[in-house]
């Protein structure tokens, strides 16, 4: 059989990772990205600026395993901070629960890494890989399919329209996916009417590899451990912050450092020590987007194009990575059998295989979001009793820990 062609649209963390997963198996791909990538010096490991954003990523144990398979984890680990303990509570209420790695007999519950560092290392790995052809600064204009192939049309920085024909197209181009729209695949949207504010803060106390999840009337707040650093004012300890507020209230947290720090302090108390400094902050609308189908002919919709979730519990990116890993393995098996990688029956099998894990994660995220923002006093009592039960009832913690680590999919 002639060498088969695979096109990936979307060069964010999922698209880059998927291309590397294929390359690890000796499978070539062509990757198209709308943004123009910067020139990065591979030797400059101290530069924390990047083309991405202010977010930090919580990588589950399963996602860490995937990066180990790719051979990239050693590159990522220097900027990754493990999570040994997870503490969950609700502001001004009695319920609380703790997950501890020793009790669950695991190495860790995962790691937190700066999105800028993850994206940097993925991009460098893709640029250095001869099996991946990279086109950045591209805009997809059309997609056509036949029984034998799929053709994508695009422009590149003002040049004439070009086209590429392949056996398979994988769309990883985000929650507002152009590919999904061009393929005529509808999506269900739900606006949580919330904004997620993300940043890095400094505290005066070590984080001890502890993640703190705190729920308030407005939503989730999380303080996660990051690799530490010493600044000009002395030793401070870096932590990632996710702050959820009502839409329309975000500007006060973005504009005023002192107000943001004071609000964090009031909400978290002394659990994280004293918040002494905050970095640049970004605000992101929280919207759930679910594609009504994830396979259309020879095209797969994957990553945030398929499912964009609320950031509660940090499950979205890890779910995308399990999708990417599964599809890469199925494509590899297809190649080894000498069969076409764009065969619709195989792609439909992939879609069906991933549904259970996706539904479980979506249900979990929505249950937590609605359960902890409901104002009904009886619901409030019930969820706090539930936290205590979660903390005390045997066999519940291991089940939830396994789920959160992505080890049951």
Q: Which residues lie closer than 8 Å to 345 by C-beta, 6 or more apart?
A: none
- For residue 230, CA distances in Å to 198, 204, 234, 258 come to 21, 11, 6, 21
Q: What is the pLDDT of residue 50?
A: 41
pLDDT at 51: 40
The dihedral region occupied by 140, where left means phi > 0, alpha psi between -120 and 50, and beta the remainder, is beta
Q: Are 219 and 245 in contact (CB under 8 A)?
A: yes
In the CATH hierarchy, which fold is given to the domain comprising 6-49+115-189+288-368? FAD/NAD(P)-binding domain (3.50.50)
Q: What is the pLDDT of residue 53?
A: 54
CA 243 to chain centre: 16
Q: How far, in Å, are 67, 125, 172, 313, 391 from residue 402 at the CA level?
A: 19, 30, 27, 13, 15
User: What residues in the chain have per-residue pLDDT under 70?
Assistant: 1-2, 44-54, 91-95, 218-219, 229-235, 370-409
E-strand stretches of 110-233: 110-114, 132-135, 138-145, 150-156, 162-166, 168-171, 187-203, 210-216, 219-225, 229-231
Give the DSSP letter of residue 83.
-
Q: What is the DSSP letter of 167?
A: S
pLDDT in tens, 150-188: 999 999 987 899 999 999 999 999 999 999 999 999 999
Of 118, 119, 156, residue with least CA distance to 136 = 156
> Tell me, what's the pLDDT at 59?
95
| Measured distance CA(88)–CA(164) in Å, rounded | 49
* Model pLDDT, residue 380: 55
What is the DSSP pairing of strand 85-90 with strand 210-216? parallel
CA angle, 355 as apex, 351 and 357 as ends, to 5°? 130
CA proximity to 17, closest of 323, 404, 309? 323
9 contacts 304 by C-beta, under 8 angstroms: no
């Amino acid at each position: 059989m002639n060498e088969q062609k695979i096109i990936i649209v979307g060069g964010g963390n999922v698209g880059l990772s998927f291309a590397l997963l294929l390359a690890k198996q000796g499978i070539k791909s062509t990757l198209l990205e709308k943004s123009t990538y910067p020139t990065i010096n591979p030797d400059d490991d101290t530069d924390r600026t990047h083309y991405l954003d202010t977010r930090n990523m919580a990588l589950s144990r399963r996602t860490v395993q995937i990066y180990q398979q790719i051979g990239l984890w050693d590159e990522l680990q220097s900027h990754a901070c493990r999570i040994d303990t997870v503490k969950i509570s609700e502001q001004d209420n009695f319920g609380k629960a703790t997950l501890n790695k020793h009790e669950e007999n695991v190495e860790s519950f995962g790691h937190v890494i700066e999105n800028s560092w993850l994206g940097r290392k993925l991009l460098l790995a893709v640029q250095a890989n001869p099996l991946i052809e990279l086109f950045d600064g591209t805009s997809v204009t059309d997609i056509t399919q036949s029984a034998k192939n799929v053709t994508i049309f695009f422009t590149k920085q003002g040049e004439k329209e070009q086209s590429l024909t392949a056996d398979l197209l994988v769309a990883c181009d985000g929650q507002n996916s152009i590919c999904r729209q061009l393929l005529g695949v509808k999506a269900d949207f739900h606006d949580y009417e919330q904004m997620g504010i993300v940043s890095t803060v400094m505290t005066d106390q070590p984080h001890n590899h502890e993640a703190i999840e705190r729920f308030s009337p407005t939503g989730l707040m999380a303080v996660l451990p990051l690799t530490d650093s010493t600044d000009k004012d002395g030793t401070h300890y870096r932590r990632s912050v996710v702050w959820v507020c009502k839409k329309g209230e975000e500007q006060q947290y973005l504009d005023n450092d002192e107000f943001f720090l004071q609000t964090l302090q009031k909400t978290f108390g002394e659990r994280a020590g004293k918040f002494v400094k905050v970095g640049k902050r970004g605000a992101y609308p929280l919207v759930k987007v679910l594609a009504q189908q994830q396979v259309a002919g020879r095209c797969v919709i994957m990553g945030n194009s398929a499912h964009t979730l609320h950031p509660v519990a940090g499950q979205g990116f890890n779910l995308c990575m399990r999708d990417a890993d599964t599809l890469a393995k199925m494509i590899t098996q297809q190649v080894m059998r000498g069969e076409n990688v764009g065969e619709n029956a195989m792609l439909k099998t992939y879609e069906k295989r991933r549904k259970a894990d996706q539904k479980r994660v979506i249900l979990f995220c929505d249950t937590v979001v609605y359960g902890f923002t409901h104002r009904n006093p009886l619901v409030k009592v019930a969820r706090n009793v539930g936290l205590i039960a979660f903390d005390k009832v045997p066999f519940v913690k291991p089940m939830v820990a396994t789920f959160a680590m992505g080890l049951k999919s």
